[in-house]
Amino acid sequence: MKLAPAELKDFLEEKANKYNSSQFIESDPISIPHLFDKKQDIEISGFLAATIAWGQRATVIKNARRLVEWMDYHPHDFVLNASETDLKPFEGFVHRTFNGVDALFFLQSLRNIYQKYDSMETLFKAKAVKEGIINFRKAFFSIPHEKRSEKHVSNPEANASSKRLNMYLRWMVRSDNKGVDFGIWENISPALLQCPLDVHSGRVARKLGLLRRKQDDWKAVEELGIALRKFDAQDPARYDYALFGLGVFEKF
């Protein structure tokens, strides 16, 4: 599909506005952090939901909700104060390759982080998203852990697209009047955000001529970011709604 730059911008704007809507929250993993009002509860539940956000969307939402149910719908308090008995249910958690070992480590690492910082934003704040993710990842895995858990926090330093972390950052950083993204991290500029890239958004981006690189990796993320910033340098990640919506709902 070849469109002139002005036509492509109009097309992306139309689709972004269509899917950046509260009516889609219920069918999206972002519905989990929308259960909460407290900043830290949103951060923690959002991070866990984003971490397991692959596979069937209904299953992702069901399993992410199970995690917050086991935290008695008070993620921040639970992370800081859970007893061994409280943690017991998490031993049996399974979502695809994310299992009980991973779930328990994630809770332990989050406890370590929130004992030191008021917000995870502190760890993600950097001059570039890639740097922020790398900094967060180093802090997250700074305590003893099994090697297997590292694959669940992707590493752009190893050229991973880090789709779920970019999605999580969109949730936390973007702020508009649509009621979907939270905008609770005010010290990170939306201009820095990268568009989450997966098989769906990558396919659409290539079809629209926004992306030439064939692999869905960090180099492709940066290439796509350059293209999207030509349309909106201050908020490029909002076009995630267009690419995702076209790929998932319209099978574009």
pLDDT of residue 5: 87
pTM to 2 decimal places: 0.97
Domain extents for the chain?
A: 5-248
Residues linked to residue 94 through DSSP beta bridges, in sequence order: 99
Q: Give, in degrees to the nearest 5, the angle at Cα 106 between 105 and 107.
A: 90
Q: Tens place of pLDDT for every residue, the chain, 252 residues?
A: 778 889 999 999 999 999 999 999 999 999 999 999 999 999 999 999 999 999 999 999 999 999 999 999 999 999 999 999 999 999 999 999 999 999 999 999 999 999 999 999 999 999 999 999 999 999 999 999 999 999 999 999 999 999 999 999 999 999 998 999 999 999 999 999 999 999 999 999 999 999 999 999 999 999 999 999 999 999 999 999 999 999 988 988
Per-state percent for the chain, helix, strand, coil, to nearest 5: 65, 0, 35
* Residue indicated by tokens 């995630």: 240
Give me the torsion for CA of 236, 243, 241, 124, rounded to 10°: -50
Q: Are the beta carbons of 229 and 12 closer than 8 angstroms?
A: no
DSSP code string of 153-195: S--GGGT---HHHHHHHHHHH---SSSSS----TTS-GGG---
Residues linked to residue 95 through DSSP beta bridges, in sequence order: 98
Identify which of 144, 147, 179, 162 has the alpha carbon closest to the alpha carbon of residue 216: 162
* Residue indicated by tokens 């490029």: 236
> Which sign, positive or negative, has the C-alpha torsion 64, 66, 67, 68?
positive
